[in-house]
Amino acid sequence: MAVLRPRVHFTARRFWLNDPNGLVFAGGRYHVFFQHNPRAGNHGYMSWGHASSVDLLRWEEHEVALPWREGQDVFSGSAVVDWRNTSGLGGAGDGGPPVVAMFTGNGFYHQAQYLAVSRDGGATWAFGPPEPVLDEGKQDFRDPKVFWYAPGEYWVSVVVHPDERQVGVYTSPDLRVWSQVSVFGPAGGVAGIWEVPDLFPLEVAGQERWVLKVDVFEGGPQGGTGAQYWVGDFDGRVFTPSQGARWADVGKDFYAAITFSDLPQPGRRVWLGWLNNWVYANHLSTQPWQGVLTLPRELSLVPDGPEWALAQVPVPELEALREEPLALPDGQRVEVGEGVPLDLTLPLTSWTLQLLSAGGEEARLWLDGGSLHLTRAAPQALEDFAGTFSAPLPDAVGEVRVLLDTCTLEVFAAGGRLAFTQLLLPHEPISALRLSGVVGRGWTLRPTQAP
């Protein structure tokens, strides 16, 4: 089996990668930190890997930002620019405001929240005070997502209580002293533990609505892990949902998404996630890299009957990578080349798209009867990967956008109300397409990562 490294999705140079962490714009660059084992291709010695970009697409990997320390893993968390230096962690020079990360320190049957700081715009990092800033004496208490709540002029952090299926809401004047002000849950999907919460506002119809996202370890839309969200209101202390839980992505492989902090465009909200599923994540053979992040996605809320739906589409910066136009005549095999990333546009009618290698069909995507379907194969030894996965399409007009990047498939439809994310494990590299039932179009994409 030959699995090519994705060319426009971020992967670490070597070894294990899972949750994105500390997404922040600082020092004129977008920073992505990520759960990383710098020693091997499995989950262990957890540290914060680090990459940065000027355009959300071309990522430069740096040295490990927050390394594993004896007796303590550096688990997931978030980062913010402390513009007012409320934390007192800023330096005496002219390096600008400190960038502060809040992360989970994972010790022996104990998890608590700690701080780290960068005084040069996110380029280099140091651990903060040795003591935790938020500790409830629990074995499982993790994944803090921090933001500045401007109406109250204080910090808010949402931290998950996994076993209880709850999200705790905490406030702080300085990122150092935290007080719990409310708890949300259990609610929605509770079959598995909860992880990686995020809470953020989106403006719609001239009003501010809030979205609370939390991941589930079991009971996802295609089995295994998944990401659910609620739309509602937040008064700085309590999140109150106005509608029931929904899935953020109805594919098999979308987890641990969090949003960027301090983006330079007011009101813009962008997130990315881990393109994987814990059901089989530890058993994929793609060395020397192991794990891939989704493309960055821009978020909005759109009407869906009497409720609101979270819409997500690839960031518009991706269009700058488009190179050769691609025509997909009905029923004809179109050669695209091994490992060439593709951006396809298909109509919202019935069709079948075969993903082909020199050896035959590697996967099949089709739209029929108002539902989207994908069939993918896998090595016999890998359980729960192969099969057919389906999702109903929302009632809408528009087109279907398909992003194919060697072993990743991200599909968006109905104006972004449907996102359908899947890993592929082709036996041979995909090199051709056949679209049947309609005529499609698209582009090849300029790679941003070395093969």
Q: Which residues are catalytic?
A: 19
User: Tokens representing 155?
Assistant: 């910090």
SS3 283: helix
Contact between 9 and 25 (Cβ < 8 Å): no
Cis preceding-peptide flag for 221 (omega within 30 of 0): no
Other CB atoms within 10 A of residue 173 CB: 14
* Cα–Cα distance measured from residue 349 to residue 340, given in angstroms and rounded to the nearest whole number: 26
* Cα–Cα distance measured from residue 198 to residue 108, given in angstroms and rounded to the nearest whole number: 26
User: Tokens representing 78?
Assistant: 């978030």
* Cα–Cα distance measured from residue 85 to residue 91, given in angstroms and rounded to the nearest whole number: 9
Here the contacts of 306-310 (C-beta below 8 Å, separation 24 or greater) are 307/231, 307/242, 307/243, 308/204, 308/209, 308/231, 308/243, 309/246, 309/394, 309/417, 310/211, 310/229, 310/231, 310/246, 310/248, 310/417
Which segments within 27-98 are labelled E, that is strand?
Answer: 29-37, 47-53, 60-61, 73-81
* Cα–Cα distance measured from residue 193 to residue 166, given in angstroms and rounded to the nearest whole number: 9
Half-sphere exposure of 321 (CA within 13 A, CB side): 25
Helix (H) or strand (E) holding 7: none
Backbone region of residue 101 per phi and psi (left: phi > 0; alpha: psi in -120 to 50; beta: other values): beta
With CA atoms as reference, report the closest residue to 247 among 220, 266, 223. Answer: 220
SS3 83: coil
Other CB atoms within 10 A of residue 375 CB: 15
